Amino acid sequence: MESKTFLVLTSVILALGMSSTALAQEFNATNHLWVLISFCLIFSMQAGFAMLESGSVPESNVYVVAFKNLIDWTLVSIAYFFIGFGIQFGLTSSGLFGSSFLLLNGLGYGTHAVGGWTYFMFQLAFAGTAATIVSGAIAGRTGFFAYYVFSILMGALIYPVFGHWAWGNGILSQGTLLTSMGYIDFAGSSVVHMTGGVASLVGAILIGPRLGRFGIDGKPRDPPSYPTSGALVVLGTLVLWFGWFGFNGGSTLVAGDFAGRVIFNTNLAASAASVAAFLHAKHLQGKRYIGNKIIGGTITGLVAITANSHMVAPIGALLIGIFAGIIHNIAYELLLKLKIDDAVGAVPVHLFGGMFGIISVALFGDAGIAAEFYKNVPIPLITGGMFAQLQVQIIGVLLNLLWVGVSSFAVYSLIKKFIGLRVSPEEEMAGVTLEGGVTVKKPEFHKMTEEELRSIAEGKAIEKKTMKVTIEETANERLVAWITSYMLMKDAKIEECKRMLIEKGWSRDDVERAAKKGGF
Amino acid sequence: MTEKYDQVSIKVSEGGYNVISVAEWQKIDILKRIELMKEGKVTFLFEGKIATLGD
């Protein structure tokens, strides 16, 4: 009876952000142990992501992709400790962000549904997951430092703000933006996965595809993600699946049979999604990228059941899984059609799977199970039916898209302007490194001789094979003048162009020669 | 003799680069473009590889 009371109270807090000092009296060692074990399970997902992502990229990028999964955890741990947790779970005054518990001041027993330190570690695992989702989508071309900066801001700002809206449940909370409306995201389909998915999509668009990812005809070059190791990809997926039992099961905050129901639903949805993705890809999508779709479909099932695993019947979990697998496959093809290079397929899994999971709360939520879970809390599904809950869920989806889309766009744009989002083309082709620069193997280019450079500058023909040289490597002023003028004349008047070049220090002879050889 | 390129890589900081389209490149002020090229911060790309001069 006592544990049931606790279950109800913690459920209320988790789902609706309501608070009660009575909770402080309800702690017990078993529940703490369960939550701490769940934290460890979720932490193992970092290893899963590292395996999945590093197995999905070319061999030249395995090392750095694996490292990014280590680094983002360390950075988010620090950023979340400094301000992230406070923004997410601190006292809210406007419903938009919390402002207490900065540096965890004031955190302790009785401040949250379980003891404060246990709760912090459990929530940190979610923040780390959101951040690490991004690393796979933008793998293979993103600079290490740029990723550092993004991870810090993800842990300190982007993730916690939406987390506050949906889960902000500091003990003195007056109700945050979404919790006060009855928004339900049980374990993070939107808070964690949509957030990671939207940030991945924005990043993939702004950073651009890996060099050569799409041919001149716009078609993706096979194989789509140049997988290094299929075995590593499958093992990573299984480790993620294992960790998900803590991700969803631990979100009950109570060691009891409700956690068992949640874990059962989680496993069933993932299994159904895996089979559905396989059959859909095989029979309706011409067997294209079938391995990627089985893997992605499976994880999409896990993502989709995350929001609702506490309030759906087994048949609901099964249907959610089936639809999730199909949605994944359609989204996967859509991204390819749009020429968006998501190196490990994070967007179909986390963004589309997350959105579907949130909507599924209303579509597949069982009012009877929800009533058992929420007791006397008036959630829209119970008081107003499916459409009432659906309205709130859609608002939550839109707010996530808006906040994470705008904030991550702003962060990426600042990085683009002041740091640069990518590595050099040479490094990208040779493989991104921790140290920066090309240290593995530099692509071979013909190094022009002085004589050849002079020949080009004077307009003499030379053999085509000798032309393979970068402009940087041919830092010859006369040649650059020729190239520059030739290009600039395409969108500037010749006389204006000549005058500017001369003003910039080029000799009149060089400019005249360049103009002549450029055919103007 | 012509140059073929469909993207341009520009160095922003030590170890930091951006890849932009030709249209975006041509929107940059002409003097700025000249400056970038003179400083060796520009690499032209064609079909995912470093562009060659000539065809």
pLDDT-wise least confident of A50-64, A242-256, A362-376: A50-64
Q: Which residue has the tokens 């067997």?
A: A287
A193: closest CA among A113, A301, A274?
A301
Tell which wins on pLDDT, A312 or A517: A312
Q: Which residues pair with B18 in a beta bridge?
A: B10
Average pLDDT over residues B3-20: 88
Q: Are A250 and A39 in contact (CB under 8 A)?
A: yes
Query: Which residues on chain A are in Cβ contact (under 8 Å) with B7?
Result: 208, 211
Q: What does the pLDDT read at residue A505?
A: 67
Residue A211 pLDDT > 70: yes
Residue A128 pLDDT > 90: yes
Per DSSP, the three-state class of A51 is helix
**Hey, are the CB atoms on A483 and B50 less than 8 Å from each other?**
no
Q: Could you report the per-residue pLDDT of A342-382, keeping only the tens digit for each?
A: 999 999 999 999 999 999 999 999 999 999 998 878 899 99
User: Residue A362 and residue A393: Cα distance in Å, rounded?
Assistant: 7
**Hey, are the CB atoms on A480 and B12 less than 8 Å from each other?**
no
Phi and psi, residue B44, nearest 5° = -90, 140
pTM for the full predicted model: 0.82
Residue A194 pLDDT > 60: yes
Of A467, A472, A475, the CB nearest to B43: A472
Average pLDDT over residues A186-206: 98
**In chain A, which residue's Cα lies nearest the Cα of B55?**
A464
Q: Could you report the per-residue pLDDT of A411-467, keeping only the tens digit for each?
A: 999 999 999 999 999 888 888 888 765 544 434 444 455 666 566 556 555 444 444
Q: What does the pLDDT read at residue B50?
A: 84
Check CB contact of A463 with chain B, cutoff 8 Å: no
Q: What does the pLDDT read at residue A514?
A: 61
What percent of chain A stands above pLDDT 70? 77
Average pLDDT over residues A60-69: 89
Q: What is the mean pLDDT of chain A?
A: 83
Q: Which residue has the tokens 């989204």?
A: A331
Q: How far is A79 from chain B (nearest CA, A)?
A: 23
Query: Which residues on chain A are in Cβ contact (under 8 Å) with B53?
Result: 456, 467, 469, 471, 474, 483
Q: Are A290 and A282 in contact (CB under 8 A)?
A: yes
Q: What does the pLDDT read at residue A18?
A: 35
Here the tokens at position A368 are 């009877």
What ipTM is given for this predicted complex? 0.90
Question: How far apart, in Å, are the Cα atoms of A97 and each of A79, A164, A220, A456?
Answer: 16, 6, 42, 62
Mutate to test the interface with B, among A216, A448, A467 (most CBs of B within 10 A): A467
Q: Using CA of residue A461, residue A463, residue A466, residue A471, what is the dihedral sign?
A: positive
Tell which wins on pLDDT, A371 or A176: A371
CB count, 10 Å around CB of B32? Answer: 9
Tell which wins on pLDDT, A245 or A490: A245
- Print burial letters for A483-513: b (CB count within 10 Å at least 16), e (below 16): bbbbbbbeeeeeeebbebbeeeebeeebbeb
Question: How far apart, in Å, are the Cα atoms of A4 and each of A26, A157, A255, A259, A382?
Answer: 10, 35, 11, 12, 20
Average pLDDT over residues A99-106: 89
Model confidence band, residue B39 (pLDDT cutoffs 50, 70, 90): confident
Q: Could you report the per-residue pLDDT of A270-322, keeping only the tens digit for each?
A: 999 999 999 999 999 999 999 999 999 999 999 999 999 999 999 999 999 99
Of A420, A436, A471, the CB nearest to B18: A420
pLDDT-wise least confident of A243-247, A305-309, A488-492: A488-492
Query: Which residues on chain A are in Cβ contact (under 8 Å) with B4?
Result: none
User: Residue A360 and residue A324: Cα distance in Å, rounded?
Assistant: 10
Per DSSP, the three-state class of B46 is strand
User: Residue A284 and residue A401: Cα distance in Å, rounded?
Assistant: 30
Q: How far is B17 from chain A (nearest CA, A)?
A: 4
Q: How far is B1 from chain A (nearest CA, A)?
A: 8
Q: Using CA of residue A241, residue A246, residue A251, residue A254, what is the dihedral sign?
A: positive
Here the tokens at position A294 are 């089985």
Q: What does the pLDDT read at residue A408?
A: 98
Q: Outline where A179-256 has alpha helix (H).
A: 195-207, 230-249
Here the tokens at position A362 are 């209303």
Tell which wins on pLDDT, A115 or A243: A243
